[in-house]
């Protein structure tokens, strides 16, 4: 996978896995990481699927309708790549927190749904339920921040609430933050995500 790795000043912080939205690239969320955890190492990756020339992390059949077979395959592929990158760049594979937006948040959620210990935590901006009717692995002690817009035209608020419910049922410590906005990522959400990250990681004794 095309990617960028930037080593951070603090080795005690988790490595941030940056996962862009449709049409983005491995550098898209670097500015977010700089706000949320400026001293952490970052690994930005680019999705391996193209939709009308725009990079994505997995195929979809229509707006909001995922190609589940491809989702499962690409989730496994990403999980394997994170392990390879951890070896290549000497960061702790068990100490990775994802920051994903839209399609990137959906693949991050899919990691949580399919692979135990794939992520130590996650910040999911404008995510959907990746799969229905499956049993999630234990997510005990995994904190998750979900940022959402009440007027998101692409994601029904009930989808976000269902995602939260699935993660909580698996044991995750879920924090929801709702704005009055739509699908666009807001500064307000990012600042709340920073507060969440500081509470769980930066300032943890």
Which residues are catalytically annotated? 102, 152, 183
Q: What is the DSSP letter of 145?
A: E
Using CA atoms, how far residue 87 sits from 90, 102, 132, 140, in Å, is: 5, 28, 33, 26
CA 43, CA 87: separation in Å to the nearest integer?
Answer: 13
3-state DSSP assignment of residue 18: strand
**How many of the other CB atoms lie within 10 Å of CB of 125?**
28
For helices 68-89 and 103-114, give the axis angle rounded to 10 degrees: 90
**CA-CA distance, 163 to 128, in Å (whole number)?**
7
């Amino acid at each position: 996978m095309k990617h960028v790795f930037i080593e951070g000043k603090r080795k005690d912080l988790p490595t941030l896995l940056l996962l862009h939205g449709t049409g983005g690239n491995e550098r898209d969320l670097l500015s977010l990481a700089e706000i949320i955890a400026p001293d952490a190492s970052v690994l930005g990756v680019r999705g391996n699927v193209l939709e009308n020339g725009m990079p994505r992390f997995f195929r979809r059949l229509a707006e909001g309708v995922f190609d589940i077979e491809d989702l499962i395959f690409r989730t496994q592929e990403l999980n394997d790549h994170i392990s390879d990158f951890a070896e290549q760049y000497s960061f702790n594979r068990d100490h990775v927190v994802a920051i994903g937006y839209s399609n990137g948040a959906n693949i991050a959620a899919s990691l949580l749904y399919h692979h135990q210990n794939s992520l130590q935590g996650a910040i999911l901006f404008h995510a959907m339920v990746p799969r229905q009717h499956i049993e999630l692995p234990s997510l005990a002690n995994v904190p998750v921040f979900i940022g959402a817009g009440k007027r998101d035209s692409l994601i029904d608020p009930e989808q976000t609430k269902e995602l939260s419910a699935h993660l909580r049922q698996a044991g995750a410590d879920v924090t929801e933050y709702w704005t009055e906005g739509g699908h666009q990522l807001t500064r307000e959400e990012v600042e709340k995500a920073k507060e969440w990250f500081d509470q769980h990681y930066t300032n943890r004794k």
